[in-house]
Amino acid sequence: RETAQSNAQDVVELAKRHLVQPWPTAGEVGAEARPLIRGGEGIYITDGAGKRLIDGPAGMWCVNAGHRREELASVMYEQAMLLSYNTPWYTMSEPSAVLAKRIADYAPGDLNHVFFTTGGSSAVESALRFMQFYNNVRGRPEKKLILSRGGAYHGSTYLSASLNGRPRDRDWMDGADDLVVKLSSPNPFRRPEGMSLAIFSNMLVAEFEETVSRIGADKIGAFIGEPIQASGGVIVPPDDYLPRIRKICRDNDILFIADEVVTAFGRLGHVFSSGEEFGLDPDIITFAKGVTSGYFPLGGMVVSERLLAELRRSNHPTAMYAHGLTYTSHPVGCAVALANLDLLEGGILAHAQAIAPYFQEQLRTLEELPLVGEVRGTGLMACVECVADRESKNPLELDTSVGMRIDAHCHELGLLVRPLINMCVMSPPLVITRDQIDDMVAILREGI
């Protein structure tokens, strides 16, 4: 309460003196002023000066149901008053079991068990450690390599970060490089000049097949991929690409892990997109963010019954998946996720499906601007990619902070953008209306 009433500039000074913020540069670590955000309602947030902004990225792709939802806040209060915490080591809570059942009902194929974590990185980490455990118990300790892709973002823990394929994420950071093999990003905008989408897809699939046969399927434990690469710039792959990769994984006993940390819980109009949008039946799905609309740090993985049954039948019934977090299955997180699912089912999913074509169509009008190389996306996720020259699609001659500069202009005009070097990612709360989309696009146009 004291902080809320203090002068915005004083808060910024406190942060500069004492707060380490994510993704700092060495020159600014522990000394950075970022815009202060003090309130939120619906699709809007309010900054330190009291200015109302459209929350263009919905926090970090997460505030799907919108800010200040009484239904979510009150459930958190009620659950905390009933049971604020229970150890998942020796006990369990009702919300976690009920939520696992509801999530399992939505998951494709035979994915019917859920392990809860504290967010997306820990969900990915849990899935990969599960793969390692699974192959150890099956007597395949050599089968551990992980296939990941350029443009990927899977998290900030050591193993999940090792999978990241965005330029600059790994320049100054170490990783478990001996465990990871990187493949190409399925980015149609950056495909070779003049190549059709069909040939591009063939090329990606051929690279995958060649990698599996060169390394040997007996050495590869899993492929992990975002159905749509989110932080890599909303990369929508060619239609047939993911089903073909899924088939190669199945044929070679390689686990297919769909990282749906962004694409689940309504972002594409479904609870999970793997099945409903892409026709996939992954072995494991990881999720986070939208599961609680960002009201509580919760994530998890949904695991296939086939894998669990195989473990239960193995020759090592006492082998232990020695993995769990203090906040695994947190009752407050699970309770708010249940209330969030009620909201999604109660109209938000249908609204997201209905409004998505308008959102995409309006954003694409920005392609008229000379600085814009492409606007792409699907559902309520999109990316405006700026280039110095539309013919060569060259972003390199641009000021590298072009995204930051667009964000600064848009902030003045009433929109928070998620700048990614030369790209602006837009993924607003799913409750956005047509008029609000018009406002968002008008501001973005002027900002650019």
Residues that bind ligand PLP (CB under 6 A): 60, 119-121, 124, 153-156, 226, 230-231, 259, 261-262, 288, 299
Q: Smallest distance from the beta carbon of 270 to ligand PLP, in angstroms?
A: 16
Contact 423, 384 (CB under 8 A): yes
Measured from the CB atom, the residue of 43 and 257 that comes closer to ligand PLP is 257
Distance of CA 274 to the CA centre of its chain: 13
Measured from the CB atom, the residue of 153 and 447 that comes closer to ligand PLP is 153
Measured from the CB atom, the residue of 263 and 304 that comes closer to ligand PLP is 263
Contact 88, 329 (CB under 8 A): yes
Measured from the CB atom, the residue of 40 and 120 that comes closer to ligand PLP is 120
Site of tokens 């953008």 = 417
Which of 226, 236, 233 is closest to 256 using CA atoms?
Answer: 226
Measured from the CB atom, the residue of 288 and 363 that comes closer to ligand PLP is 288
CA dist 138 and 313 (Å) reads 10
Q: Smallest distance from the beta carbon of 289 to ligand PLP, in angstroms?
A: 6
Contact 105, 112 (CB under 8 A): no
Report residue 347 as tokens: 């109209």
Q: Smallest distance from the beta carbon of 146 to ligand PLP, in angstroms?
A: 14
Q: Smallest distance from the beta carbon of 122 to ligand PLP, in angstroms?
A: 6
Measured from the CB atom, the residue of 119 and 186 that comes closer to ligand PLP is 119
- Residues 6+ positions from 87 with CB-CB distance below 8 Å: 326
CB atoms within 10 A of CB 78: 12
Q: How many helices (H) and strands (E) does the chain have?
A: 15, 15
Q: Smallest distance from the beta carbon of 149 to ligand PLP, in angstroms?
A: 12
CA dist 244 and 2 (Å) reads 56
Q: Smallest distance from the beta carbon of 166 to ligand PLP, in angstroms?
A: 11
Query: Which residue sits closest to ligand PLP, CB atoms considered?
Result: 120
DSSP secondary structure letters along 50-80: S-EEEETTHHHHT-TT-B--HHHHHHHHHHH
Measured from the CB atom, the residue of 299 and 377 that comes closer to ligand PLP is 299
Beta bridge partners of 147: 181, 223
Q: Smallest distance from the beta carbon of 121 to ligand PLP, in angstroms?
A: 3
CA-CA-CA-CA torsion sign (426, 153, 399, 12): positive
Report the alpha-carbon angle 226-227-230, nearest 5.
Answer: 55
Give the pairing of strands 44-47 and 52-55: antiparallel
Measured from the CB atom, the residue of 124 and 432 that comes closer to ligand PLP is 124
Q: Smallest distance from the beta carbon of 224 to ligand PLP, in angstroms?
A: 9
CA dist 404 and 213 (Å) reads 43
Measured from the CB atom, the residue of 120 and 331 that comes closer to ligand PLP is 120
Q: Smallest distance from the beta carbon of 55 to ligand PLP, in angstroms?
A: 16
